Amino acid sequence: MTSIVSSGVEIQTSPQSVPSTPSWLAEVVVVAHYLSTLEVLEKIALEVRFARGRFGIYDTIDFVVVLIGYALSGERTLKGFYERLEPFASPFMALFGREELPSRSALSRYLSAIDQPTVEALRALFQKDLLARPLTKVDKSTGGLWDRCGEQWVVFDGDGTRQAARQRALPQTNDLPAAHRRMDAVCAAGYTGRKRGEVVRTRTTLLQAHTHQWLATFAGAGNGDYRGDLLRAIAVLTAYVTSQQIPLNRAILRLDGQYGDYAIAIDLDKSGLAYVMRGKDYDLLDLPEIQARLALSPDQETTHPETGTRRALFDCPDVLLTPVGPRVRVIVATHPETASPARVGTTRDGMVYELFLTVLPQRAFTPADVVDLYLHRGAFETVLSDEDAEQDPDRWCSYTACGQEFWQILSQWMWNIRLELGHHLHPTPLRMTTFAQAQASPATPPASEEPAPESQGGMLPKDPFDRDVSSTPGQESHLMVADSGQRSHFSLTYGTPEWARTARQGIYAGRDFHLQPDGTLRCPANHPLYAQERRAEHDGTVRVVYAARIGDCRACKRRVHCLGHGRDNKHPRRVSAVLRPAEGPSPPPEGAPSLPAALSPILWGDWSRSRTRRAFMSLLRTQTVTITHMPGACSSEDPSEHLLYTREQRKHYRLSWSQRLARNACPASESCTKIHLFGIPTAFAHSLGLAVA
């Protein structure tokens, strides 16, 4: 038997330290060269500017390149990243045209000091770079969704992600000073979901669903300003589709139930975008037209392929959400209650009800198509999961709001760069998938779509982008109601709102709040109140309840004249109005001849979410990287030159932007370091302009 000790392997050690190159260094080399070729680094240095004391010789670009390396490395902490980078600091900074690596403390001070204009300058440059070139040179289209009429749409996903932070329980006694929490500036109490922690930060993201490129990120403490962030995301989306020469009314924004209320529907209606979202105001189920529709047979029935849940779908094509609009298409999905409580929807009399709000035309998308399109946004969750695994932009880089958002914008930027380089390595054409099968034959019109008598003609499908929100407070409101006996549509007219009286003298009454054209109210302090609830009463009236934001009420100087308990009130101001139906319905509308049923399949065109990107990362992380220093090629400088100061320098005059940038720039000399990447395909190297050995 041969002894293990006598094997043919000789082990030898040496006290000399030769650190191994990090596995992510090759990727940083390629990305740095690509960004330099595109002149992105130069644009960041010239357009993203910030100056303050205690920065030494560093400028904004020095901290940006560190965060770029951190995003690409995947290291869990900045400390671990610096430990792996320290032996290779000089060649790392030379890749970006800089000389010295900023310390961790200098990076922390920079992220703590930057302001909102600096963050917005970086965001604007990120969005400009996204529009500068297509994802792949093989096919310059943006992908899309082709409906049953053959029309193309482009789908976008918007959602909020949350990062929770844990805080120790500290004693609060009179003999101790007030506790200082380092998370106070970046987090606040809020909904944490499944994540463990006491405080939370919310980040609203926007994704192009076909190319899987990030378009925007906006963050806020606690639950954030989800409506304000969504308005900013809509502005970014509008700029994107305009630059791609896509009609604005052909962009579909998918949102989850967090956004499914009246205020969001009004904002989307004003923007002109199409949308699909889950509704969370289940008082809509009490509206007469929806109750009448639920009394009839469903339009379609669907079965979820994974859970086996069988849903009956009821299509309500024209529902008025508020007295002044907008009109939306409401799809009610029902399924029997199970032993486990329903996590989504509301349960009534053993039946679970779910709401889906959209403005997609009925002829192009059946109720099942709309529900499937919403449930398909589960693919967005896999993108967020990949982002968490590869870059984790929600990890804490700074304990200030601007510093954390600065880092998250750069992280999204590197995600997009990885996608582009993955398509450089493996160019792939647009792939087409049958999203929904073609209909075999024209379906019998459901109860909600059955045509009127021949003397009046059929109903033309309503254009989702031809919506009227021009009603004023003095005008009457019209509500579409379905008569279950005649199965026809008529318009029920409501009178002007009757505002609730005040409960105490000296308090603002409902008449002191003015109704706006967008469906909101304005209080005497000029703060908005949004429609939060709509209830159908037993006497046939409809009550609409408006509520202000608690933040506006707490900071308002007039709260003692507005809230019932004055300064001690813990809830925002609420105002209700009653709408009474006018006598007699108006005559049925005239319609145009009905169009033939659309039978085409729904097609989905996109690119792979992860295959090309992961192939690029795997190639560069499994190949050898050698770094060779060539001291003979470096130009030697006279040390005495650094002792010569100008009079302005001696007087500590403020440096110009170009002088600040030049302090840490690499000296103009021949290359002193040679980096050799092995295993790089020749075609890929030529596409990026890399030299081939």
Range of weakest confidence among 192-201, 330-339, 367-376, 614-623: 192-201
If one counts the domains in the chain, the total is 1
pLDDT value of residue 468: 36
Tokens representing 240? 């994107």
- For the stretch 149-187, pLDDT in tens is 889 999 999 988 888 888 888 888 888 888 888 888 899
Q: Are 194 and 181 in contact (CB under 8 A)?
A: no
Tokens representing 244? 């791609």
Widest distance between CA atoms in the chain? 106
DSSP 679: S
Domain assignment of residue 328, yes or no: no
506 has a pLDDT exceeding 60: yes
Peptide bond into 326 cis (omega under 30): yes
Domain assignment of residue 557, yes or no: yes
Domain assignment of residue 421, yes or no: no
What percent of the chain clears pLDDT 90, i.e. is strictly above it? 41
Question: CA–CA separation, 415 vs 428, rounded Å?
Answer: 18
Domain assignment of residue 352, yes or no: no
- For the stretch 454-492, pLDDT in tens is 333 333 233 333 333 333 333 334 333 333 333 334 345
148 has a pLDDT exceeding 80: yes
Domain assignment of residue 607, yes or no: no
What percent of the chain clears pLDDT 70, i.e. is strictly above it? 83
Domain assignment of residue 505, yes or no: yes
Q: What global pTM score does this model have?
A: 0.77
Q: Which residues of 49-87 are buried (b: 16+ CB within 10 A; e: fewer)?
A: bbeeeebeebbbbbbbbbbbbbbbbbbeebeebbebbeb
Segments in 632-673 forming alpha helices (H): 647-650, 657-662
Q: Predicted confidence band at 679 (pLDDT cuts at 50, 70, 90)?
A: very high
Q: Predicted confidence band at 447 (pLDDT cuts at 50, 70, 90)?
A: very low
The mean pLDDT of 227-242, rounded to a whole number, is 93
The mean pLDDT of 62-81, rounded to a whole number, is 94
Q: Are 61 and 96 in contact (CB under 8 A)?
A: yes
Nearest to 453 by CA among 294, 588, 290: 588
Please give the sequence-ordered ranges of beta strands (E in DSSP) within 359-465, or none if there are none: 431-436
39 has a pLDDT exceeding 50: yes
Domain assignment of residue 386, yes or no: no
Structural domain range at position 550? 501-580
The more confidently predicted of residues 473 and 433 is 433
pLDDT value of residue 197: 80
Helix (H) or strand (E) holding 424: helix 401-425
**181 CA to centre of own chain:** 28
Domain assignment of residue 168, yes or no: no
What average pLDDT is seen over the chain?
82
The mean pLDDT of 284-310, rounded to a whole number, is 88
385 has a pLDDT exceeding 50: yes
Measure Cα distances from 226 to 162, 221, 533, 594 in Å.
12, 11, 18, 40
Question: CA–CA separation, 559 vs 76, rounded Å?
Answer: 47
pLDDT value of residue 125: 96
- For the stretch 591-628, pLDDT in tens is 444 555 667 899 999 998 889 999 999 999 999 999 98
